Chains A and B, each alone.
Chain A
Amino acid sequence: MEHLLATIGRNMFAIFGVLALCGAAFMVAAKSAVHSVLGFLFTMLCIAGCFLALEAEFLGMAQILVYAGGIVVLFLFVVMLVELSKYKEKAIFQLQTRSAVIAVLIGAVAFLVAFRDIFFGNASSEALVLRPELAKGLNVAAENAQAVSRGLFSDYLLPFEILSVILLVALVGAVVLAKTERV
C-alpha cells in the first residue's frame, strides 16, 4: 500500500496530465455544450493538479479559483442563457472537419519526427531539477506565494498594472456589448 502511494506520488504529474488530456478530448467531442463545460471544468482541475505537481502551489490554487470558480460558472450561465436546444443542430462539427483533422495529424507527425530525439532519445532521461541556490524559494507553499508576489511586484510591476487596465477595459467592454439596445 505504501509502495503504491509512493508510486502515485512520484507520478502525480503524469496522472494529472493524462486525465487533463482525456478531459480535453471529451470537451471537444461532447455533443451537448453543457457536457463540454463539464469536460472543461475537469480539464482545468487536472491542470491545477499539474501545477501543484510542478511545485507552483500558488498558481495551482489560483487556477482552481479563477477557472473552476469564475470562468466555468460564466460559461454555464451563458450556455443556459442562449438555450442551445432551440435550434436544430445539423452537425456538431464544421464542414471542413476532414481537412482540419488531416492538417492537425500532419502537424503532430511533423512535430514528433522533428523532436523525436528530444522526446525519446538520450536527452529525455534528463530530469527536471531546480537550481539548488534558488530551490528554497520555490519549494514550500507559503514561500512560493512570497516568491511569486516578489517577482510580480518588482520585475513585473508594469505588466501587472497594464493587466489591471486591461481587466477594467474588458469589464466596460463586456457591459457595453451585452447591454440591450434601448438603454
Chain B
Amino acid sequence: MVNLNAVLLISFLLFSIGIAGVLIRRNALVILMCVELMLNAANLNFIAFARHSGSVSGQAFALLVMGFAAAEVAVGLALVVALYRKRDTVQVDDINLLKG
C-alpha cells in the first residue's frame, strides 16, 4: 500500500535536488543530468496520479515524457560536443560567446 503523499514528497525532493543541481553545478553535462532528474520527478507524479485515479492516461503521458527526454538529451549532448569543439570547455562559467 503506497501513500500518495509519500510519492508526492519524494517527487518534490527529487525535483528540488534537480533544480539545486542546475543552479549550482558548473559542468554542462551534470546540468543536463539534473534536467533529466526533474523530468523523472514529474513522471513519478504522473504515475502516482494515474494509480490514484485508476486511469491509464497518466502512464501514457509519462511514456511520452520519456521519449521527449530522450530527444532532449540527444540534442543537449550534441550541443555540448559542439561547444567543446568550439571553446574547448564544458564549464558553463566559461561560455560567454554572446557577451562578445
Contact = CB atoms under 8 A, between A and B. Distances in A.
Given A40-B36, A150-B56, A156-B60, A124 B14 contact: no
Interface string B3-33: 1111101101110111111011111011011
Contacts of B88: 86-87
Given A54-B47, A62-B63, A134-B54, A177 B26 contact: no
Interface string B38-59: 0010011001101111111101
B74 interface: yes
Contact of A128 (B48, B60, B66): B48
A40 B38 CA distance: 12
Interface in A74-125: 74-75, 78-79, 81-82, 84, 86-87, 89, 91-97, 100-101, 103-104, 107-108, 111, 118-119, 123-125
Nearest to A36: B30
Interface in A21-37: 21, 24-25, 27-28, 33, 36-37
Interface string B57-83: 101111110111111111101111110
Interface residues of A, number: 94
Given A59-B47, A104-B19, A170 B72 contact: yes
B29 A177 contact: no
A79 to B, nearest CB: 6
A180 B51 CA distance: 47
30 contacts: A17-B6, A21-B17, A24-B14, A24-B21, A28-B20, A47-B43, A54-B7, A59-B43, A59-B62, A62-B63, A74-B74, A82-B29, A89-B91, A94-B26, A119-B9, A127-B3, A128-B2, A128-B52, A129-B52, A134-B55, A135-B54, A138-B56, A144-B59, A151-B57, A151-B59, A163-B67, A166-B67, A167-B67, A171-B74, A178-B82
Enumerate the 10 nearest inter-chain pairs by beta-carbon distance, A residue then B residue, closest first. A131-B54, A134-B54, A170-B71, A177-B78, A17-B10, A100-B23, A174-B78, A28-B21, A151-B60, A128-B4
Interface of B: 1-7, 9-10, 12-14, 16-21, 23-27, 29-30, 32-34, 36-37, 40, 43-44, 47-48, 50-57, 59-64, 66-75, 77-82, 84-85, 88-93
